[in-house]
Structure 1
Amino acid sequence: MKNMLLMSGSKYQNTPYLEHTQDWLKHFLGNAHIKVAFIPYAGVSRTFDAYEQLVQNALGGLNNIEIISVHRSKKHSDIIEQADAIAVGGGNTYCLLKLLYENQLLDIIREKVLAGMPYFGWSAGANIAGASIMTTNDMPITYPPSFAALNLFPHQINPHFISGKMAGHNGESREERLAEFLIINPEATVYALPEGTALHIQGNNATVLGQSDILQFSKNMQMHTFAPNSTFQY
């Protein structure tokens, strides 16, 4: 059974890196000692070594997990084969997906998660769990072979969702951009994750975590909201 924790971002308000996720992760990963394969590909502004260290430091309070970046092996899939869980960090979604294709990790991740291996990701790491990356907020600074992603959650995810426009901003709001996506892709469904929220996926059920509603948008921007701690089938 699929077991995934898809988090909007690495920070919430003024909290330190990944601090607001700690209780979620304790519940999600349990108490047994586990080895976590970390995928750092989205971290354009830092080296893989530095990204691995950042996550190790941030989650150091979870004494039962050992985090090892996939770049520690010449064949990146070997780290996943030896792991008990998979973590995918945030950053640029296009870079993340491009390197997942280049290192031939999409199939192995999909296979492992469908077999029950826990998967957790934040921001870009949540976005790629969906059907495609077409509802990312990032600029296409590089070109993956396809926008098709893991499709473990067979819908679209929009992390870091913020409703409305800031004063003085004349560009499109997030709702307007998602409306454009749904005009071109009217059969799709988008789940918008505000800051400080997450979806815990267990099989075909999803539970809302955090302090805010998660929003579902479908054709013609029909909206449905899911309250914190509620569970729904997707």
Structure 2
Amino acid sequence: MTTLVLLSDLVFESNDKLDQRIRSLFDSEQPSIGYIPSSSDPERIYFEHTRRYYNQIGTDNIQYYDLDLEYEESTFGAIFECDAIHLSGGNTYYFLSLLQKRNVLGLLRSYVNSGGILIGVSAGSILMTPTIEIAGYGEDADENDVGLVDMKALGLVKFEFALHWDGSEDTLNSLREYTRINRTTVYACQDGGGVVIDGESVELYGNVRLVDYRESRSDHE
């Protein structure tokens, strides 16, 4: 059964229902979480922020697994024994290029298909979708500094994910155009909200809006 959590951002004063739902996904009283940064975090600044979040919801066993400068092939495989894997935020293009370089995409798919929980924040959430193209869309687009050509991501869900939605109708209209051009479906999510996939169910928490190309198409007809 597929179990995924897609978050726009990691906000401490966020959504109690969402936090409780994430905690309820674990069978273990003390689940282990493997953290993959989007790029090396030598000072562990972002890792510590994430660790504090999990501590707040009652989970203490968080381990750091680098795919970048500190990558160790011999020890990285242990992450797939964790109850959940956390994909951090950052530059989506760079993150995907690391997953491709280390041949981790297929391993992550197998992990989820075998019952592992995958939790993404920002870029990490986009990586669960079919493509990261939306990361280059809009005012706050990521820069493709690595010259990434293959935008195919994990494809664990059929929709795309728009981060840090400002709540405005203008942004939704822009996303409607995006879905119409790309014939896709997008969930726009404000910070503090998220989408939980539990088997066949899609659960929305916080301010999340569905933008579907079929509706956008009908607007133009």
TM bracket (short chain):
0.7 to 0.9
Q: Does 1:217 align with 2:217?
A: no
Quick check: which one's helix share is greater? 2
Residue 82 in 1 paired to residue 77 in 2? no
The alpha-carbon deviation at position 63 of structure 1 amounts to 4.1
Q: How does 1:194-213 map to 2 (within 5 A)?
A: 194-210=190-206, 212-213=207-208
SS in 2 for 1:135: helix
Paired residue secondary structure (1:90): coil
Contact 2:180-2:213 within 8 A present in 1 as well: no
Aligned length: 209
**RMSD of Structure 2 on Structure 1 (CA):** 2.9
Residue aligning to 2:157: 153
Structure 1 residue 81: Cα displacement: 2.6
Unaligned runs of 5+ in 1: 166-172, 224-234
| 1:220 Cα offset (Å) | 5.8
Task: Give the counterpart letter for 1:202 in structure 2.
Answer: D
| Equivalent of residue 181 in structure 2, options 171, 180, 184 | 184
Instruction: Determine if contact 2:18/2:193 at 8 Å carries over to the other structure.
Output: no
In structure 2, C-alpha distance between the alignment counterparts of 1:118 and 1:49, rounded to whole Å = 23
* Structure 2 contact 51–60 (Cα < 8 Å) conserved: no
**Partner letter of residue 144 of structure 1?**
L
Higher strand share: 1
Higher RCO, Cα 8 Å, sep 6+? 2
TM-score (norm 1): 0.76
SS in 2 for 1:160: coil
What residue identity is the alignment partner of 1:74?
E
Q: Is the 8 Å Cα contact of residues 127 and 157 (structure 1) preserved in structure 2?
A: yes
Return the TM-score normalized by structure 2.
0.80
| Residues 115-194 of structure 1 aligned to structure 2 (within 5 Å) | 115-136=114-135, 137-164=141-168, 173-186=170-183, 188-194=184-190
CA offsets 1:114-168 (integer angstroms, 9 cap, x no match): 1211111111111111111112242323333411111001221112122438xxx
Deviation at 1:7, TM superposition (A): 1.2
Moved more, 88-97 or 62-71: 62-71
Instruction: Report the CA distance between 1:30 and its aligned residue.
Output: 4.6
Higher mean displacement: 146-155 or 74-83: 74-83
CA, structure 1 residues 222+110, in 2 after alignment: closer, same or farther (shift >3 Å)?
Answer: same
Q: Which residue of 1 aligns with 2:138?
A: none
Contact 1:85 1:119 in 2 (8 A): yes
